[in-house]
Each structure stands twice: as structure tokens, then as C-alpha cells.
Chains A and B, each alone.
Chain A
């Protein structure tokens, strides 16, 4: 079957989708967006977390057909999404389910596929602009193998959108569906605290 939906602000069309296929599979294998990771396919690890009409979900547990006509934000579109939100002083369009049908904003598939975490040096800020949460993960050393990172970024970014001044308990709760086998979580906590603090300064 064919599935039409919006990914990172751009209308997309996936063809020959098997009816039992997950949204995660469609993103990775049919649209060439491998940012969302496949680690468990059973909702346990959160590495496949994306936003579906603004809501963080495990894309491995969304049937592709259920995404028809809906709005998906993946880690590849996170920087643009955060930027848009900043400009609009609150919610980015994806969160409201607006389809961005004009195609005037959002990340093109080509850009998204070519995405990489440049600008490692926060001093020079060279390369592609990262979302504040991505920069904070780099600055706090919260990335080791990186497999859990995309899901954590999407989940953490959504929490900071809802709750700009999270307590440690809030952070732990919001990230409780994301497993990391490398960092021991402390650096991840640091990164989210850092992003929250920077967000506070920016206001």
C-alpha cells in the first residue's frame, strides 16, 4: 500500500509498504532516514522515538498505515523543528499537526538524508546548526556509541518544550522510556539540565 504523510515538515510518499510494517521501518528503509534507531522493535528501548502529531511515540509500534495523513518529526528534523519553535515563541508547527503543505519550511528529504552532527566545536559553531538539545548532548559528553541518542534527543526536546524548568525527577520520568547502555545516564542528565539552563538564559 501507499502511505502519505508529512516528515519533518515535508509531504512524503512511501510506496509498496507492507500492511504490517512499522513506521520505523518506513522511515529507515523506504525514506532513507536512519536517524531513528531500531534496537528492540518492542517498545522497550525508545531508540526509535519520533513525534507523531507532536506526541513522542515509539515508531516501531506505530503501524505505517496509522501514520497516513499525519505529521512526523524525526531526529533529522529536530534542529529545524526547534528553530521554528523558537521563532514562533512556543510550539513548532509539527506539534499542532499542521501539515506544512506549502512545503516552504521543514527539512527536505535530501537535506535530512545528508544530515550529520557537524559543529562539534560549540565555540566555532561551524557546520550545520544543531538544536539546542543536540548541542547540549555534545557539550556535556552525553554521547558514547550514540545508538540511544536520537530517541533521547527527541524525548528530551519534547519535555523541554512542555516543561522548561524540569526537576531531576521530571527529567528521569520523561526519559524513562529510553535505555542507554553506555553512559550510565549521568551525562545525559547533565545535558538536559544544560539545555534547560541555556533555554532559560535565552528567554
Chain B
């Protein structure tokens, strides 16, 4: 095995081009487990820890450019306002020690259906900024997950950053597990209200081969909210609408039975989380001045 220690982003890209099989290592919280247990013996490890740029973030007008190696702890501490969904999701990852090392770049690299960043990224709307010596491109996060633990990266590409839309409304993240810490999601759900575009976006974790959005549920809810003038009048969402939304979210799942839970439990739980997160975010939206026209929200 060889340990490559590029001191800059350019050097890292050159190293990845020269050794496309090299395994990048950032926080190491996925890679080292595999090495410790002999599940993986890469020819080259490509250490990203010396590249300071990857641990920085920039808050822009529309979006946050989050460096691939920014640890979850930093996201929780510094970006709660801009990225509330991702900050909540980050807080559910493992333990303080893991959150001090692991980050979104590694979560995307692993692309596990259970990765906690994914539902939050899907709900907020995000693009993955990837680069190689050939150039850089932006991959919409919806297209990034290509299969179980597979992603859209080419062998010579590295993740530079994730560009996540700044929240323009309330966001929530919910996760089912057996305890609060150190739990891989049985299933998870992210929801973001986007009052500016009058849309709702979702993300489902651990209930399909890849993280997915519940698109039919989103379309149904967008139409129902528009029709009822909810964005303007800020009324409580009717229980029948919430139920239909929840059912459609359950329907978006394509889960399996495994040690953490059965497929039917996952479908059920996703529906429950969908209804709850909708209620929480909508209550919060109703309570804000963000609405264009304060109706009689009795």
C-alpha cells in the first residue's frame, strides 16, 4: 500500500489522475473501518487532510459552498441558520468523535442509502461540485446516487464541495433508530419548505437502494397548498392532505427487510415521519412573518 499525501487540491487531482484506483481518505470514519476489518486493501490511500480548502465553506447569496471535508461538528456549530436540515441531520450522526472527523464529502463518497446527509441535501436542493484534471462539473444531488453505495463520480474525480441552497423556509430532519447516539438510520426523512418558489422538497434515507425524493408526494402537496391558498393564508394543513402526503411518501419507498427493520416497518415509519415533519415545518412557517399575506391564521 502507498500513502499519498498531496499538499494542495491540484496535487490531489494529479495524484487521482495518475492512480485512479487510489482511495481518498478524509475523516476516515468509513475507510478506516474497512481497512481495520480487512474488507479493503487499497493499493493507494489518498489523504485529503492536508488540503485546507476542503475544510472551508463560503456563504453566498443563494447557496452555501460547503467544502467536502468540513466535519459535521462545524456544520452544526456554524451553519444552523443557512442549512437547518443538514445541521439537524449532522447532529444525528454517530457521536461527537465521529462528527469531529466525518463530513459530507465522505458521506457522498460512500453513498450509503443510510447516510444522514443525503435526505437533507435532497430536500434543500444541492449540487455536488466534482473535479478532475479534465475540469470540474456540477452534479445535481438527485443524479448523484446511482445505486447501492454507488455514485456518479468518474474514477479520476474528487468531490471539491457541495453547493447547497440556503434555506428560505423551515426545514426538518427525522430519523428512526434504537437510541439517540451511534445509530445507523432504520429509515430517515428530510423535508424543506421553500416559500420563495412555493414548493416542498423531501428526501428519504434507508428505504430504497439509494436516497430518494418522494416526487409524487411533493407534486401532490405543492398542488394542494397552491389550490387552498395555504402559502398566503397560512392555514393549518388539512388532515386529509397530510395523510395523503404521508401515504405518497410511504409509496416512494422501495425498502428491504434487514437486521435494522422490515420493509413494511420502514414504509410505515416514513409515512409517520413525513406527516410529523410536515406538521412541524408548517407550524413554524405559519408562525413566521415570511408569509406574503397574513391571513386569518386562527
Find the A residue at minimum CB distance from B44: A19
A61 within 8 A of B: yes
A61 touches B32 (CB 8 A): yes
Find the B residue at minimum CB distance from A174: B96
Contact with A along B17-28 (1 / 0, CB 8 A): 000000001011
> Distance (Å) between the CB of B77 and the closest chain A CB?
11
Contact with A along B48-85 (1 / 0, CB 8 A): 01000000000000000000000000000000000000
Chain A residues with CB under 8 A of B2: 19
B97 touches A58 (CB 8 A): yes
B100 touches A20 (CB 8 A): no
A62 to B32, CA, bound (A): 7
A42 to B41, CA, bound (A): 16
Which residues between 7 and 44 of chain B lie within 8 Å of chain A, taking CB atoms? 25, 27-29, 31-33, 35-37, 41-42
B29 touches A61 (CB 8 A): yes
Find the B residue at minimum CB distance from A25: B36
B96 touches A176 (CB 8 A): yes
Known: A61-B28, A68-B5. A42 touches B94 (CB 8 A): no
Known: A57-B101, A176-B182. A42 touches B37 (CB 8 A): yes
| Interface size class, chain A | 20 to 34
> Distance (Å) between the CB of B109 and the closest chain A CB?
15
B100 touches A57 (CB 8 A): yes
B131 within 8 A of A: no
Contact with A along B212-243 (1 / 0, CB 8 A): 00000000000000000000000000000000
A65 to B50, CA, bound (A): 11
Known: A42-B33, A43-B33, A174-B96. A62 touches B101 (CB 8 A): yes
> Distance (Å) between the CB of A164 and the closest chain B CB?
17
B3 touches A61 (CB 8 A): no
Find the A residue at minimum CB distance from B99: A177
B41 touches A66 (CB 8 A): no
> Distance (Å) between the CB of A73 and the closest chain B CB?
14
B297 within 8 A of A: no
Count of B interface residues, CB-CB < 8 Å: 29
Which residues between 146 and 187 of chain B lie within 8 Å of chain A, taking CB atoms? 180-182
A42 to B37, CA, bound (A): 8
Chain B residues with CB under 8 A of A178: 95
B33 touches A61 (CB 8 A): yes
Which residues between 33 and 61 of chain A lie within 8 Å of chain B, taking CB atoms? 41-44, 46, 49, 55-58, 60-61
A18 touches B32 (CB 8 A): no
Chain B residues with CB under 8 A of A174: 96
A1 within 8 A of B: yes
B45 within 8 A of A: yes
A8 within 8 A of B: no
B32 touches A177 (CB 8 A): no
Identify which of B28, B36, B180 contacts A66 (C-beta below 8 A): B28
Find the A residue at minimum CB distance from B48: A66
> Distance (Å) between the CB of A75 and the closest chain B CB?
14
B36 touches A41 (CB 8 A): yes
A173 within 8 A of B: yes
Pick 17 A–B contacts, CB within 8 A, sort by A: A19-B3, A19-B45, A20-B42, A41-B36, A42-B37, A43-B29, A43-B98, A44-B182, A55-B100, A56-B96, A58-B29, A58-B98, A60-B32, A61-B32, A61-B33, A61-B101, A66-B28
